[in-house]
Structure 1
Amino acid sequence: MAATTPAAAAAHVVHIEAVQTAVPTRVVEPGRTRLVAVAAPPLPAPALQRRVRAVLYYRSGGGAAAAPGAWEDGVWVKESLSEALADHPEMAGRLRRRADGSWEVKLNDTGVRLLQATVDATLDEFLAGGKGLARREAALAPWTDVNADDPDMYPPFFMQLTRFQGDGGYAVGVSCALVLADPLTLARFLLSWARTHARIKAQGKATPLPMAQYLAYFQRPETTRKRVRSVPIDSFAGDADVETVLFRAGAAAAAAAADGGHRALAAACVGKASEALGKKDKVSRLSVVVVDAAGGGSLAGKTTIETCTAASDGGAAAAGGASLEAVQWSELGLEELVLRDSKPVHVSCSIVTGGGGDEGLVVVMPDDGAGSLLVMATLPK
């Protein structure tokens, strides 16, 4: 079959078959929160929409006869996601503004929004089209903008399981607000969920869970109930044009950042990213998100958001840049996320800035290495 052209791919439709909420299996004690400190309140509304988008594509194998297998996994997704959330309750929380202008993640067990969907295209047809893939992926990783005046009503984390036509291929797409979790923390959670999913499925084969009675519903949602909605893929709004470069900062640069030098590190990363991307005009204003190294994105830590100029402390920035190493998105480890005993055939990761204008975005994350950091620099094209 000839590859589908970008124009033909745009005519495809995503069908939302079910919308659910996965909540932790264990209740979190009242009053627990995770701080999102804002150095200079108020936090601009677009900052609440900045998010990580990740889509993992899987090929079930076995031709059309294997297609129901992907939806069999859907029977266990909500169960395994709820169990994983019990160990990572912040992922099921909601954002709330504090009196001092900072924000916090309120651990209220509200849950992760979970969607089941189908696309009227095969996996290969959907992946064809080159640069148009990024826009189409918005249909696989849903998002609803967080309303700053009523944030409790808007989940900052979405997951969607999408089945493709014909060959049993499927995708797992997630959208997660940066104020909820940085890319590395999100990847760690997804890997933990995948391990939990495999364990629960194995247990379920021996002792079926009560929810297994809904197997037929998940296998053939399009024939067992009315679809929630069907949306042409070309109706999804295009994201702002940005490019992201990842760096690993060595122990020396990480130590300097921990001692108040994160602005210089951010400026150094933006300078390196501008060179790597061939940008003549460098951004002058940066939004810097720093994940507490002690907490590592966990409940014990916090996230700090501040704004600075890329030209500030240029000498320190140049020195910090000497220990920066450009790395790939594969450093997050999502290529190792195994479902149905298979690794993904393709992984897409990107940062959506939510209309941040010409401002640069830098996220500083504690790495698993010996005192190093992962730093993500996102620049407008």
Structure 2
Amino acid sequence: MEVHENGGSPRQSQSLSELQIVTMMSVPPLKMTEPRAVRKVLVSEDNTRAIHGCYQVVMYYENLKEKEHGWCLAGLIVESLARVLLDHPLLAGRLQRREDTGFEIVANDSGIRLLEACYPTTLSHFLHLNEEQHHLVFWKEIDTQYPQFSPLFYVQVTNFECGGYSIGISCSLLLAEVFLVENFLGKWAEIHMNMSPQHEEIQTPIFHHPRLKNPESLPPDIISRTQRQNGVQSMVFTITTEDANFSMELWRELAMLCVKEAEQKLSTNLGSEFSLVVKESSEVAKVESCSMNGWSVEGMRVKHEMSASRWEEFGVYEVAFFEGNKPVQVSCWIDSVSDGYAMVVPLPYLKHKNACAVIVVSPPLSSL
């Protein structure tokens, strides 16, 4: 889509910081999760900072038909989210502290957080400015002391004056494999398009009333969000190995290989130590401190193939909530990390016997 500045009306010249969040609610799975899934996060007290960090994506959509207006999408999105969460209950769960192991994510059906907002400008004008996109996605830092009150997944639907809209998603990095492995966005969009035709008869969506004039924003103390950290960069690598079974030692070696490659391509430095998160299985994620001291690429003996990817390559440009209306633009990034960070996720869908994705995140500029 060609983007351009759409006029210079007083309304459009207003500060884009005037985002209004008009609705906030929690969306649990459609049915109670039984049995409750649990994922242990094995982490020492010295490495608890590694539970922070989120993957964020914003997808921008034009308003092709009246029924595709963002107000209607927000009104119907509650049910499609509730349905897709049946297969991904951990997203609607919470992180709980455990004295013996650190933390665990429990699918307790507390729900993801869903927000609806409006912006005082058109979509084309916003894309032309290419500023303040972080306002279109919500994230609140996990409270390390009381993590059971912190959602791990947020969705924000933002409506523009022209009828276009954006869908912004924030997901804890501890659950980011739903995008890399499980095609969460594709499944959600498919469910949304295939919902019962009876929804076409709904004149006013339950979640928000599109005829409501001049909606008031929610109080700031309710919608305060974590400020975006500038300078955070990330890369995603796909690695396959031959004649070697994955182990913590091998995962550590592969992570350091990717860190070295990312430092060169991003012109950054993660430092001599970084946090390493390994998803050993669907039930266990292990966090440790990893040191680059004394390590070299030449020391690796395992045959491997490595390719660099971008988050955009994992299907986000194909996500259509209404038939034929794919995003006109997508932005992806990682935020809320304080130190260098690497995460290893096995990729069972590849035909190779041993394959994994490695996410490498540089610390924000302020911490370098």
TM-score band w.r.t. shorter chain: 0.7 to 0.9
Relative to 1, partners in 2 of residues 1:268 and 1:14: Cα closer, same or farther, differing over 3 Å? same
Which residue pairs with 1:146 in the alignment? Answer: 142
Relative to 1, partners in 2 of residues 1:250 and 1:150: Cα closer, same or farther, differing over 3 Å? same
Give the partner amino acid of 1:364.
Answer: V
Matches of 2:182 and 2:121, distance apart in 1 = 27
Secondary structure, aligned partner of 1:215 = coil
Which residue pairs with 1:117 in the alignment? Answer: 117
Give the partner amino acid of 1:19.
Answer: M
Relative to 1, partners in 2 of residues 1:320 and 1:343: Cα closer, same or farther, differing over 3 Å? farther
Relative to 1, partners in 2 of residues 1:349 and 1:312: Cα closer, same or farther, differing over 3 Å? farther
1:127 Cα deviation (Å)? 1.9
Matches of 1:77 and 1:312, distance apart in 2 = 51
Matches of 1:304 and 1:241, distance apart in 2 = 27
Cα RMSD, aligned residues only: 3.1
1:41 Cα deviation (Å)? 3.4
User: Does the 8 A contact of 1:43 with 1:101 survive in 2?
Assistant: no
Which residue pairs with 2:343 in the alignment? Answer: 363
1:67 Cα deviation (Å)? 8.2
What are the residue-to-residue correspondences of 1:1-20 with 2, within 5 Å? 2=5, 11-20=16-25
Which residue pairs with 2:251 in the alignment? Answer: 262
1:242 Cα deviation (Å)? 1.5
Matches of 1:286 and 1:93, distance apart in 2 = 27
User: Does the 8 A contact of 1:51 with 1:353 survive in 2?
Assistant: yes
Matches of 2:170 and 2:34, distance apart in 1 = 26
Q: Which runs of 5+ in 2 are unaligned?
A: none
User: Does the 8 A contact of 2:74 with 2:207 survive in 1?
Assistant: no
Which residue pairs with 1:310 in the alignment? Answer: 292
2:221 is the counterpart of 1:241? no
| TM-score w.r.t. length of structure 2 | 0.84
1:14 Cα deviation (Å)? 0.8
Secondary structure, aligned partner of 1:242 = coil
Which residue pairs with 2:271 in the alignment? Answer: 283
Q: Which runs of 5+ in 1 are unaligned?
A: none
User: Does the 8 A contact of 1:240 with 1:353 survive in 2?
Assistant: no
User: Does the 8 A contact of 1:76 with 1:201 survive in 2?
Assistant: no
Give the partner amino acid of 1:265.
Answer: L
Relative to 1, partners in 2 of residues 1:287 and 1:222: Cα closer, same or farther, differing over 3 Å? farther
Relative to 1, partners in 2 of residues 1:12 and 1:326: Cα closer, same or farther, differing over 3 Å? same
User: Does the 8 A contact of 2:69 with 2:164 survive in 1?
Assistant: no
User: Does the 8 A contact of 2:84 with 2:188 survive in 1?
Assistant: yes
| TM-score w.r.t. length of structure 1 | 0.82
Deviation track 1:137-156 (CA, whole Å, cap 9, x = no partner) reads 22111111221221111111
Percent of residue pairs bearing the same amino acid type: 27
Relative to 1, partners in 2 of residues 1:217 and 1:173: Cα closer, same or farther, differing over 3 Å? closer
Give the partner amino acid of 2:167.
Answer: V
Of the candidates 143, 159, 179, which is equivalent to residue 155 of structure 2?
Answer: 159
Matches of 1:57 and 1:201, distance apart in 2 = 25
